[in-house]
Amino acid sequence: MPLKKTKKLNFKLLKELSEATGAPGFEGNIRAIVKREIADYVDSIEVDNMGNLIALKKGTLKKGKKKLMAAAHMDEIGFMVQHIDDNGFIRFCPLGGFDPKTLSSQRVTIHGKKDVIGVVGGKAAHLMSDAEKKQNPQLKDYYIDTGLDKKELEKLVSVGDSITRKREFLQLGNCVNGKSLDNRMLVFVLIETIKKLKKIPHDFYAVFTVQEEVGIRGAKVAVHEIQPDIGICLDVTIANDVPGAAPHEYINKLGAGTSIDMMNGTVIADRRMVKYLADLADKKKVPYQHDVMAAGGTDGWAMQMMTSKGCITGGISVPLRNMHQEVEMCHETDINATLDLLQLAVENLDKGDWKNV
């Protein structure tokens, strides 16, 4: 399907990022795209031993320069090949949190010596007992069928290879829909913001982290390395504005603007950062909402807690429906608002009130 154009959004890049593959620990493909896109716009790029890509754009202040870190994770939920049986069916381990019921008969790519397409097989309803029909399937009930027998398959695929979901990126109405918008959406936002930044006061470390989906692993290493003073986490958040949910259960609404983080399962956002972001959004008329969620975790956790003195940390998110399911959905208004607010936040950081609490 050809991509519809809007003035502001580079859908071609967003499509490429959504469709690119990179399970936790296997982020090479997605990292190469990020590198290609930002190389001309930053002062330095480093890839650490963990695989985090750390780009630095230097600030212009002569005195009292702080380190601002923004983190967007590059990895997507995926699997690893655990076993190939005598009939060539693959059993797998999850890399990240899946809802098993969303996997039945979905296409995946197994990244072996060559990419091999497979389909996650499950039992047909015709063969299920009444009890089975009422139960949610478990990951252990699934296998991957590539259409190849064991001998043919083992020429291409080995235990330990990574597996990702295979899905086309589409535009639906005023929304975008595709796999792994968690967190390719914010990878996109960070790339596009880097390209637009004008004069910035403080040093800006734009970090594309690895292995977030398996427990915020890459960000911990990047934070040790950078020791940021101020942190902005960039990740998607839940929009539960769907039939059957009451307004108090929405968390966020699609199309209502960027989401300024208040809390999730691992971070209570620093109030100085919440105020800074909300004041900027009010002043510049950027639509926003607030995000209060008791569950989930983000790279913000590592930024807030892994420096010796703590880091003033908050976050900006793009709301998303169908999180961690086959295809996820975001709204153009929210993407544009997130781009605007991140750029404002980086360019005006010297105007924030960062005094000690």
Shortest distance, CB of residue 72 to Zn ion, whole angstroms? Answer: 9
Comparison of 235 and 261: residue with beta carbon closer to Zn ion: 235
Shortest distance, CB of residue 152 to Zn ion, whole angstroms? Answer: 36
- To the query of whether residue 212 is one of the catalytic residues in this protein, the response is yes
Shortest distance, CB of residue 306 to Zn ion, whole angstroms? Answer: 18
Q: Between β-strands 107-111 and 90-95, what pairing exists: parallel, antiparallel or unpaired?
A: unpaired
In the numeric block, the tokens 């098993």 are attached to: 100
Report the chain's terminal Cα–Cα distance, integer Å.
52
Helix axes 332-347, 181-196, angle to 10 degrees: 50
Shortest distance, CB of residue 235 to Zn ion, whole angstroms? Answer: 4
Candidate segments 105-113, 117-125, 170-178, 180-188, binder of Zn ion by CB under 5 A: 180-188
Comparison of 202 and 217: residue with beta carbon closer to Zn ion: 217
Candidate segments 91-99, 103-111, 183-191, 336-344, binder of Zn ion by CB under 5 A: 183-191
Comparison of 55 and 238: residue with beta carbon closer to Zn ion: 238
Contacts of 33 (CB under 8 A, 6+ apart): 16, 17, 20
User: Site for Zn ion (CB under 5 A): which residue of 146, 164, 171, 183?
Assistant: 183
Annotated catalytic residue: which of 27, 37, 76, 212?
Answer: 212
Does residue 235 belong to the site contacting Zn ion (CB under 5 A)?
A: yes
Does residue 182 belong to the site contacting Zn ion (CB under 5 A)?
A: yes
Does residue 334 belong to the site contacting Zn ion (CB under 5 A)?
A: no
Shortest distance, CB of residue 299 to Zn ion, whole angstroms? Answer: 8
Candidate segments 85-93, 154-162, 232-240, 287-295, binder of Zn ion by CB under 5 A: 232-240
Comparison of 164 and 183: residue with beta carbon closer to Zn ion: 183
- Sort 106 into a burial class: Cβ within 10 Å, 0-12 / 13-18 / 19+: buried
Comparison of 33 and 236: residue with beta carbon closer to Zn ion: 236
Does residue 325 belong to the site contacting Zn ion (CB under 5 A)?
A: no
Binding site for Zn ion (CB under 5 A): 182-183, 235
> Which are the catalytic amino acids?
212
